[in-house]
Amino acid sequence: MKNKSIILILSIIFAISCKKNHQMLKDSAVINPPKATKIPHELNIHGDTRIDNYYWLNNRESKEVYDYLKAENDYTNVILNHTKNLRNTLFEEMKGRIKENDTSVPYKLNGYWYLTRYEEGKDYPIYTRRKESLDAVEEILFDCNEMAEGHSYFKLGGISISPDNNMAAFSTDIISRRKYTIHIKNLITGEVLSDKIENTTGGSTWANDNETLFYTMKDPVTLRSNKIFKHKLNTNIVDDKEVYHESDETFNTFVYKSKSKKYIIIGSSSTLSTEYRFLNADTPDQEFKIFQERTQDLEYSIAHYNNHFYIITNKDNATNFKLLKTHVDKTELSHWEEVLSHRKEVLIEDIEIFKDFLVINERENGLNKLRIISWNGEEDYYMPFSSETYTAYVGNNPDFDSHKLRYGYTSLTSPNSVIDYDLKLKVSEVKKEQEVIGGNFKKENYKEKRIWATARDGVKVPISLVYKKGIEFDGNNPLLQYAYGSYGSTIDPSFSSIRLSLLDRGFIYAISHVRGGEYLGRDWYENGKLFTKKNTFTDFIDCSKHLIEEKYTSKEHLYAYGGSAGGLLMGAIINMNPELYNGVLAAVPFVDVLTTMLDETIPLTTGEYDEWGNPNDKGYYDYMKSYSPYDNIEAKKYPNMLVTTGLHDSQVQYWEPAKWVAKLREYKTDNNKLLLHTDMDSGHGGASGRFESLKEVALEYAFLLDLEGINH
């Protein structure tokens, strides 16, 4: 910005205004919303000039920025002050359904049973293990309640146990910016070693010598995972050796050990291409070997079994992927052999390898399917599932020699179950079903179903619904419509005890499986990205219209909800069809698309060109500008809105929603609520701790219920 003196004067004026407004809000004498100072900032590219009056909000260290965010929080508190009792009721209600003294289903790994438990009145998990038998003495590995003391935010990242069971590498994040510090604990003595590795992704993996630890570093500015290092126990961190540097800014890198424990594997991935390197885990000081060099648009992943690697890949235009294999000594593309061919209607999502069986996680017509194949060729069948709104997924199966498949099952009305399926005997044992305490929940009191809306281009878009039995479809029901619709991420229908607080008050909950996800296969994703991104927005709108036409709800009672890239969706639909919605919840919304994607210093930008396009290319710039929520705000009526963000968000920077709200305030012509709430201690995932995060949900639900005139 050219005239620094003018900026300084405006900043001082704004600071004084914020301070006065802050005090008036505290006194509840005035409830006018904060008004952000306008400081024009020119953004020029491709002969196009955009004026961003709120660009200054991207200075995280600025007192003026902090004061503005605080003033917005104060304003939100004043406007929603009358819902305080409702929020408390919702919080206690949601908390009351959670079993506080709870334990995970234990799993066995390398001679130990591992489990996680919670204790009453405590926010964080306790990680434990028992040797050989569940009746053995409990060994506490990490008590996160103790570790979190003195921190407003705490997250325990990856835990990696050495092959001899004596050491544990673990990571912590106390800022909520997903920059983890790795520590190493001696599990025999309980001592945490002086080894301290900062600015990592949090994950790590041991070589078989019990002395060498591989981990992934992040670029300190962009937070891109770009380097793999190896650390030797009892050596200085500064002497750690870099074993791989991913120099392509559109790729991220990671490291892990094969389930067979034979190989250390380094992966590099972008949206459209992947590449792997591998190394015998017994010889960690040797050089990694490239599995198959990266090729544009070639995606693959690998898993080891006996003398072969098994490969899920889109090779030869296998849009929904196919399964191939190759000998461990001949891993180049020319040696890959087909195991399962490509099927147009079936997406291969993942595989799980056991000593005697191969399990394939597939998706057909939006539904999860688990296919079981024995290595001896005698078995090939699908596990039976009947509902149309369920989710089945492969769980934690670290034991290569086991003949039991652990999987999870849930639906919109069925609490999550952890199930062990005996692959030899073909019998299932429910190890645990999520317990909804309080005595009021009965799954038979709720109805779930899947319906289909017709999009404007004739494509059928599925919608999963859940509601309490007995309601009439007369257009008077409040309905919360949720979607994500990006990165090929599928939002499967699953149970939520928290959601019951809406359902029991008459809400219908709908998940629109819009294009941009992979609910109906890889093509469903491809047709909701880059130059087809607008399909995601119009699909959501057309689902909204269908729900209204079928009298599930009406414009006066329809609410939309999305977060992160789903927040972009929220920003787009209110620009396109604001009249369809009475209210919108936008969580950590990605709304300033052009400015963010043109700034290569912002975390994640360069790695996402394959998802959104690179706006340095004029074609992509023009297309992105045509839907970018921040750039398309107009003088018109907008729905009631609650926007939430975190000051330390590393995925969507806090200033995107802050700028968005400021500009909406400037342009909107209605008297509807527009609220911004910034968590000053957290990032993209919200508050840490299982109960603290419920306060955020209570705020969102109270906002919706208040708009419906429901105050209890």
Residue in 146, 60, 138 with CA at minimum distance from that of residue 103: 138
Q: Tell me which of 564, 650, 688, 693 is the catalytic residue.
A: 564
Radius of gyration from C-alpha coordinates of the chain = 26
Residue 129 corresponds to which amino acid? Answer: R
20 Cβ contact list (under 8 Å, min separation 6): none
- Grouping H, G, I as helix, E, B as strand and the rest as coil, residue 652 is coil
Q: Are 288 and 243 in contact (CB under 8 A)?
A: yes
What span, in angstroms and rounded, lies between the C-alpha atoms of 441 and 451?
25
Q: From CA 175, how far away is CA 188, in angstroms rounded?
A: 30
Would you say 220 and 199 are in contact if contact means Cβ atoms under 8 Å apart? yes
Contact present, 515 and 535 (Cβ < 8 Å): yes
Residue 513 known to be catalytic: no
Return the structure tokens found at 466. Answer: 């859940």
Which of 494, 546, 684, 693 is catalytic? The answer is 684
In Å, what is the CA distance from 409 to each residue of 348, 385, 398, 419? 18, 10, 19, 8
Within 10 A of 247 (CB to CB), how many other CB atoms are there?
Answer: 7
Cβ atoms within 10 Å of 684's Cβ, excluding its own: 20
Give the bridge partners for 436, in sequence order: 98
DSSP letter for 552, please.
S
Q: 180: which 2 tokens?
A: 């983890």
Exposure of 194 by Cβ count < 10 A (0-12 exposed, 13-18 middle, 19+ buried)? exposed
CA dist., res. 627 & res. 568, Å (int): 9
AA identity, residue 389: T
Please name which of 544, 385, 565, 416 lies closest in space to residue 489, comparing C-alpha atoms.
565
Distance, in Å, from the CA atom of 276 to the CA atom of 298, rounded to the nearest integer, reads 12
Residue 341 annotated to the active site = no
Distances (CA, A) of 58 to 303, 470, 570, 644: 43, 49, 22, 16
* DSSP codes of every residue in 69-117: HHHHHHHHHHHTGGGHHHHHHHHHHHHHTB-SSEEPPPEEETTEEEEEE
Residue 245 to residue 251: CA distance in whole angstroms: 11
Percentages helix, strand, coil for the chain (3-state, rounded to 5) are: 25, 35, 40
Active site residue 564: yes
Q: Which of 74, 539, 649, 706 is catalytic?
A: 649
Do residues 602 and 649 touch, judged by C-beta distance below 8 A? no
User: Do residues 76 and 676 touch, judged by C-beta distance below 8 A?
Assistant: yes
H or E stretch including 308?
Answer: strand 308-313
Name residue, tokens 């990696």.
160
DSSP letter for each residue of 580-615:
G-SEEEEES----HHHHHT-TTSTTSGGGHHHH--T
Active site residues: 564, 649, 684
